[in-house]
Amino acid sequence: MGSVGTAAVRDGGAALPHGFWAAVRVWLEKPQVANRRLCGAAVEAEGPVPLGEGGEAALHPLAAVGGGGARAASAGAAELGRLWREVRGQLPAGLGGLPPPLTPWGGPGRGSELRAVLRTLLPRGRPGGPPAPLTKELAVRDVFNGTVTFLPLEENSEGKYQIKKCNIYQIQLTHIKGEEWCVSILVPYPEDWFSDGIAYPKLAWLGNELLSKLAKWSVEQKPSEFKSTLSLISVAKYSKVYQDLKNKYKDMVKVWPEVTDPEKFVYEDVAIATYLLILWEEERKEKGLTKKQSFVDLGCGNGLLVHILNNEGHSGRGIDVRRRKIWDMYGPETHLEETTIVPGDSHLFPDTDWLIGNHSDELTPWIPVIAARSSYSCCYFVLPCCFFDFHGKYSRRQSKKTQYREYLDFVAQVGFVCGFHVEEDCLRIPSTKRVSLIGKKRTYPPTECALIDKQITQYINNRQTCAVVTCDRRVGFNHKDHSDGVCEEAGSELWENETEIAGTTWMPGFQPREKVEQIRNCASLPHDFVDDVVLSVANLLLNATPQKSCSNTHAGNTNTWNQGESLSLKEVAEHLNKETLKRLKSECGGLQTLLKNNHQVFEVLNGRVHIRDWRKEKPSRKTKPEVKRRLSAEAFKTRLCWFFIHHPDGCSLPSESCPYAHGTEELRQSQIIKKKKHTQ
């Protein structure tokens, strides 16, 4: 059998056959979305190739990937042509040139043109082991027959490529009738298929996982509102540098002193540093520079990004309004400053090459402005997260876009107003907010700096006025008209104040982040107060009628366990006294936050409060990261079970199954506390 699998597809929206080729494109350019053991693919060349004898492969003008320009394109065309001549002779005789049961290439008369893509599959790094070898493939697309054939290539001792025939496979699209289509994957030599577990998984994976994704993508392709991941840099180079940096800084996870998730923050900053290092390396090549770029990270937070960039040879510093505990661990080579930044003439950086805003909150829209006014050569990189305007929280003005897309467009518009050619790229980081905006080239000559500066001031004034009068006009960005969507009428009233606002402080009333971070998640409330509220709410639920009684079948015990009734948050609040409610309202989230914090006792679902029944708790389907597994083990039996002490029926779980202590004799000392004492 040469067929690995077939998936029926119904196309009710006229997506096919175009959707099929879009799905194939995803598999060609971003195989990691299906095969998690790959980190990407580098498309080295693309172009038409002839079916008949002779003829050079003509490279598509946009096919060569990388920063080499016309020279790289020429080299790519030559490589593709040479490969095609070598490969054609290794296939079965005849113009079709493919072994059965694969569909031969070509249309009527076998004279149609094929299109080839040369790609290198990039494996993910293996911790503690040697890097996996790269794999080259020649993918040949035949539009007439609806097929794309993948030819694995191996380089011999003479430097020539040979087809690894055992791993040839073909993806086909077949029209059955009307709206009925099918997508198939076929291999000519299934008995010889060699699975390396990385670039070439087992045939069952191709027939199940890959086939189902291709079928789904073929009819559900939606144009993304974001750019492709890592579209501005080399994926191959990113893969190598990221793995090197990850191995170099992975020990930071073990010593992370902050309360934040160490795995997320360490590997996210490693990924951002990788991106910047490659971006800056390409910039040095473009501009013929040898000295590494300098930088300032505004709102640097934990400072790890600054630490990595300093270690990798870039001079720079991080500035944040609040010092973090981890700063003391970096050493004197990492330059971090505890300073409040207020946008104005006193916070310009004329000798700095790049400004960085990594989740910089209220400073995010100001960073293009600060870069533009620091010097003509200053560039910027921002990774927006929380939504802030110049004057405070960002207010939505368009309902047709997602809030995230609208905010990105606003920050991009700020960059255009400041005279930057703004580029957008998606980073490969463990975050939902992973779109970066980069301004490294100007749209105006140095002689027009004063004109651009006036334009910036006018734009900021307009934004502030729109906020005051709640102007609801459309905000978008236009490369030709940078002031599109601002309140011209309202803004004209402020022209006479331009000089004042453009002085020392660019926006009087700007509110920087507070130096002391206020904890308003009910965690700072006195324990006695919290315990009283928890007990009051629990008694309210337990005494409500009708009562829910759940059978307890543990160890043959058929006694019922009172789970109480569920009440809405509003109903619960009505039973609490005014002083308690006032105290809770001063905290972010109020009553709901307090109840969710006490998840041992309560479950809050769809605005209703329930007593938690631990017998119904299901283990997490996803494997927990090592750090979280370790924390769970360290916290086992370190707190008393609330139900054992307060519930009229006791705990619904037997002692050996309950993660909390049934009595003081079961209490263990927290390993986390021990570690803290040891480090002090």
**DSSP string covering 276-329, please?**
HHHHHHHHHHHHT--SPPPEEEET-TT-HHHHHHHHTT--EEEEESS--TTHHH
What the block records as the tokens of 56 is 């050079």
| Residue 159: per-residue pLDDT | 80
| Residue 100: per-residue pLDDT | 87
| Residue 133: per-residue pLDDT | 84
| Residue 59: per-residue pLDDT | 42
For the beta carbon of residue 432, count every other beta carbon within 10 angstroms.
Answer: 8
| Residue 584: per-residue pLDDT | 85
What the block records as the tokens of 640 is 């008393």
| Residue 112: per-residue pLDDT | 61
| Residue 269: per-residue pLDDT | 95
| Residue 483: per-residue pLDDT | 40
Best CA proximity match to 367, nearest among 290, 420, 403, 305: 420
Alpha-carbon 587 to chain mean position: 31
Question: What is the secondary structure of 415-438 as a DSSP string?
Answer: HHHTTEEEEEEE--SSSS--EEEE
| Residue 95: per-residue pLDDT | 56
Best CA proximity match to 139, nearest among 220, 230, 47, 53: 47
| Residue 672: per-residue pLDDT | 45
Residue stretches of the chain with pLDDT short of 70: 1, 52-77, 93-96, 107-112, 126-129, 221-223, 465-503, 515-524, 545-559, 587-589, 618-633, 670-680
Bridge partner residues of 609 (DSSP): 567, 604
Q: For 364-383, b where at least 16 C-beta lie within 10 A, e where not — what string?
A: bbbbbbbbbbbbeebbbbbb
Residue 236 CA to residue 230 CA, distance in Å, equals: 10
Torsion of CA 442, 447, 452, 457, to 10 degrees: 140
| Residue 70: per-residue pLDDT | 46
pLDDT digits (tens, 9 = 90+) for 229-279: 899 999 889 999 999 999 999 888 888 888 777 888 899 999 999 999 999
Backbone angles phi, psi at 567, to 5 degrees: -130, 155
